[in-house]
Amino acid sequence: MTDEPDSQPTRRVIVASPRGYCAGVDRAVLTVKRALASFGAPVYVRKQIVHNEHVVATLAEQGAIFVDELAEVPQGALVVFSAHGVSPEVRQDAATRRLRTIDATCPLVTKVHHEAARFAAKGVPIVLIGHAGHEEVEGTTGEAPDDITLVQSGEDVDALTLDPERPLAWLSQTTLSVDETRGIVEKLRARFPQLLDPPSDDICYATQNRQSAIKQIAAQSDLVIVVGSRNSSNSVRLVDVALENGARAAHLVDDSGQVDPQWFDGVVSVGVTSGASVPDVLVDGVLARLEELGFPPAVEDRLVDETLSFALPPQVRERRQPRPPVTGHWVTGR
Ligand code: SF4
């Protein structure tokens, strides 16, 4: 775009909307804050509450202690399960160790757990599309470990040895690429004609909206910046989606400090978005950095309004009556 035949092209920054916090992340972060306020530090959190370094560091400053395994939590202490969910084995382990627990698993992850348990109870084997080692995949697999086979790619579908004459169900991680997952499901259906779909989409509304929003601006962007951490599945997918939909380059940054001025030689239009675990203050920092580098204030491209919110876990909901004293052994059920 040019103002005059020989003038410089007009630089611009478009920021995608929806971006940033989803309802599940908002609930999980608020759960830890409320737990700290109500019960005092330390509050143990199994794994990162959400996959964002800044969020975790901020909660740690306030008294949260992040652990990889429950064995690191002292007996009787309070522990929060992260938004990505846990397997029944972890819940049992917490009960055995007499830990007090608060479950911050996103309800949309819990929905996938229930789907897995229901298919398994009917004797239907399940193909779970997801990434090996991701906490959500470990939690879902734990619902029916003998009935679930993980598939990460089309090649994995080719390698499946399940009986093509028998019904088979597919489920997915909530934060995958919509397009890539569709391709894997098509391949599954071609090999397994009796393939059963999940009752509703497993890739959650927030993942879908953020991918649709970045698709809308990627084609107009020389370069896309995705704010998010490297271990955030949905943030990494946003980089892939931007590149697949017309962006010439796309970079994942934790914050404005990782924005490299050398990226912008010859760049006229920049698209910006953020993963579902990213607070907006980090996006604001990136937009301010772009202004320092000579770009104008950003214009927002809003695809859809998000209004979903989830109730907090019962232990940290605000109550009219005084809360009973926290003593003894209480473990959340599902
Ligand atoms: Fe829940 Fe989706 Fe957010 Fe994950 S990305 S916490 S599944 S709403």
Q: Which of 279, 220, 263, 232 minimizes the C-alpha distance to 47?
A: 232
d(CA 242, ligand 1 centre) in Å:
20
Say if ligand 1 is within 6 A of residue 22 CB. Answer: yes
d(CA 241, ligand 1 centre) in Å:
18
Give the total residue count for the chain: 334
- State how far the Cα of 311 lies from the Cα of 303, in Å rounded to an integer: 25
Per-residue confidence (pLDDT) for residue 8, from 0 to 100: 75
326, pLDDT greater than 80? no
What phi-psi label fits residue 276: left (phi over 0), alpha (psi between -120 and 50 degrees) or beta? alpha
**Considering the entire predicted model, what is its pTM?**
0.92
Say if ligand 1 is within 6 A of residue 24 CB. Answer: yes
Confidence of residue 327 (pLDDT cuts 50, 70, 90): very low
- Which residues participate in catalysis according to the annotation? 136
Q: Which range (5-19, 84-98, 159-173) has the least confidence?
A: 5-19
Say if ligand 1 is within 6 A of residue 49 CB. Answer: no
List pLDDT tens digits, range 46-101.
Answer: 999 999 999 999 999 999 999 999 999 999 999 999 999 999 999 999 999 999 99
45, pLDDT greater than 60? yes
Strand partners, 66: 45
In single-letter form, the type of residue at position 235 comes to S
Say if ligand 1 is within 6 A of residue 204 CB. Answer: yes
Q: What are phi and psi of 196, to 5 degrees?
A: -105, 135
How many C-beta neighbours within 10 Å does residue 195 have?
17
Percent of the chain with pLDDT over 90: 92
Mutate to test the pocket of ligand 1, among 106, 176, 237, 238 (most ligand atoms within 8 A of CB): 106
Q: What are phi and psi of 172, to 5 degrees?
A: -145, 160
Percent of the chain with pLDDT over 70: 93
Burial 23-62 (b: 16+ CB within 10 A, else e): bbbbbbbebbbbbbeebeebbbbbbbbbbbbbbbeebeee
